[in-house]
Structure 1
Amino acid sequence: MEPQNVNKGDRNKIYFLIIVIAALIGTNGYLFFKDRQQGERLVTVSTEKDKLRLEVEKIEVELDKVNALNLDLNDKLVDEQKLARQKIAELKLALEKGEITQAELDKAQTQIEELKTFIKNYNDQIIQLQKENIFLKTARDSLENSVKSANDKANNLASENSNLNAKVKVAAALKAQNAEIIAFRTKSSGKKIEVTKSSTAEKLSVRFTVTPNELAEKGHHNIFLRVFDPAGNLLANENNRFEADGQEMQFTHSVFINYNNDSSTYTIDWANPKPFIKGIYTVILYTDGTTMGKAQLELR
């Protein structure tokens, strides 16, 4: 029995089907590998984005550390930090995009490397600023200590000088010796007659010799008298005031004497505007802010 012959048209259909099947297999294979590569690329891009985000966050942390130091940054450093934070904000925004090309990733990587370099230089400047601040603080503290020490010395010297001046003032003060008081009345002829009775007394005459003192200033010295009656009342005008022994006081009478350091004797007369009374009258003399001496007289 002879085999049946396959006609030429059927043979061509078979060849065509074989080619179509082969083409489909090839296309499916291409699409499979393409999808696989695309998936791998997406995974790679996502990983790179996460890595870049981490790098940006590290840079931001470095800037935050600088702010935590509370340093007094100069205008240049402040402006540089503002620019860096602006660039960080732009990078964060770019990396948050749903889709990003490799070119954009490469650009972001370059910008991050530039920021890393900036942060290193910025931190170097901050470290230098800290060193300068420590140096300035040390210098300031040293200066403050020197000023305090100088002020203490000045205050001590001022105190010593004040004490010395006070001692010199005391040493240079005029002192009365052999001070005595007499009462007298004046006759019609002008002659002074010493009396001992209060009823006949018109004035008191205070006589004293100034002790020689080389430290005392020669020339005029204002002598102040304070007169107390037997009852202890100060006989003085309300407006007559002076300072002596560190306080303000009223005085009865004052007069200038010319001191020449020659043991001269001085006499000061005082008229009582009121009648004298029986008892002891006390006169205290002052000059140059210190007490000179004291004398008393009893009137019968």
Structure 2
Amino acid sequence: MDPKIVNKGDRNKIYLLIIVIAALIGTNAYLFFKDKQQNKRFVTVSTEKDKLRLEVEKIEVELDKANALNLNLNEKLIQSEKLAREKIAELKIALQKGQMTQEQLDKAYAQINELKSFVKNYNDQIIQLQKDNLFLKNSRDSLANAVKNISNKASNLEDENSNLNVKVKAASALKLQNAEIIAFRTKSSGRKVEVTKSSTAEKLSVRFNIIPNELANKAHHNIYLRVFDPAGNLIADEENRFEADGQEMQFSHSIYINYNNDESTYVIDWKNPNPFIKGIYTVILYTDGSTMGKAQIDLR
């Protein structure tokens, strides 16, 4: 028998192997494109979930705004709001799940549209309630209650404003970013010469930068210096007084600076009315009723 002749059984096996390989290639291609479509679908669903979360937050903010009016709501409005809050909570939980089907997304959109309609109707009723309350204030009995409520609200508002002012003042305060002190003397020519010995020092020069602060008032600020000698004694005149950190203090020197939140470097020169002594001098800076920071220099 001729060896070049392939028997029929072997030929069938070859055909079957070709079919199997083609099927595997087709399956892999199908799975690749399916996985690609699923990934694309997952990204789309994730984007839709982010949009839904934003819509839910907007609805919740609208409800919070209505509550901030502190109106006396009737039982029906209270229950309606309660149901809306519960639905919002359910939506938040649903949106925290890893994946959502298109059907679940559609259902969430439908629920959000219902909530939007509810919030619009709810706000309309709140506005009408405000008008009704305004009308009732014209009557004697309602006027007495209104005065009492207004008095309480005014007191609470005053406390809130007071607390807010404290926070704003603290947030807008000027603070030192860095500060250094050098001692110097002035030659007969007028040129300043830096020194390190107490015996030759005539003045201290404080150089400092302020931490950038968008909330700070861009204007003139009075800077107060309190200088302490190595023994801890404040060097200041009795009549030089200011208030900071809730108490009256004496200051050694003061100047005005023009603050523009532009990272400027400021320099304050201070002349000691007494001879300098060996040791560490401490300078503390204040402005707008609060401490900015401090710096020190050690004179030999």
TM-score, scaled to structure 1:
0.52
Whether 1:147 aligns to 2:144 is no
**Within-5 A mapping of 1:259-298:** 259-298=259-298
Q: Secondary structure at the match of 2:198?
A: coil
Mark the structure with the bigger radius of gyration: 1
Match of 2:229 in 1: 229
Q: Secondary structure at the match of 1:286?
A: strand
Q: Secondary structure at the match of 1:232?
A: coil
Q: Secondary structure at the match of 1:184?
A: strand
Whether 1:258 aligns to 2:258 is yes
**Within-5 A mapping of 1:67-106:** none
Q: Distance in 2 between matches of 1:266 and 1:187?
A: 23
Match of 1:179 in 2: 179
| Shift in alpha-carbon separation, 1:275–1:171, aligned structure 2, 3 A | same
Deviation readout 1:246-275 (Å, 9 max, x if unpaired): 111111100001111100000000000100
Q: Distance in 1 between matches of 2:141 and 2:297?
A: 68
- The Cα shift of 1:148 comes to 3.1
- The Cα shift of 1:244 comes to 1.0
Match of 2:215 in 1: 215
Q: Secondary structure at the match of 2:295?
A: strand
Unaligned 5+ runs, structure 2: 1-138
- The Cα shift of 1:146 comes to 3.7
Q: Secondary structure at the match of 1:208?
A: strand
Aligned length: 162
Q: Distance in 1 between matches of 2:244 and 2:144?
A: 41
Q: Distance in 2 between matches of 1:145 and 1:274?
A: 68
Q: Percent identity?
A: 78
Q: Distance in 1 between matches of 2:180 and 2:141?
A: 65
Q: Secondary structure at the match of 1:285?
A: strand
Q: Distance in 1 between matches of 2:141 and 2:240?
A: 54
Q: Distance in 1 between matches of 2:217 and 2:286?
A: 15
| Shift in alpha-carbon separation, 1:143–1:283, aligned structure 2, 3 A | same
TM-score, scaled to structure 2:
0.52
- The Cα shift of 1:149 comes to 2.8
Q: Secondary structure at the match of 1:284?
A: strand
Q: Distance in 2 between matches of 1:141 and 1:282?
A: 66
Q: Which residue identity is paired with 1:298?
A: D
Deviation readout 1:48-73 (Å, 9 max, x if unpaired): xxxxxxxxxxxxxxxxxxxxxxxxxx
Over the aligned positions, Cα root-mean-square deviation in angstroms equals 1.6
Q: Which residue identity is paired with 1:290?
A: S
- The Cα shift of 1:140 comes to 7.4
Deviation readout 1:186-224 (Å, 9 max, x if unpaired): 111111111111111100000100111111111211100
Q: Distance in 2 between matches of 1:144 and 1:201?
A: 73
Match of 2:168 in 1: 168
Q: Secondary structure at the match of 1:179?
A: strand
Unaligned 5+ runs, structure 1: 1-138
Q: Distance in 1 between matches of 2:141 and 2:276?
A: 72
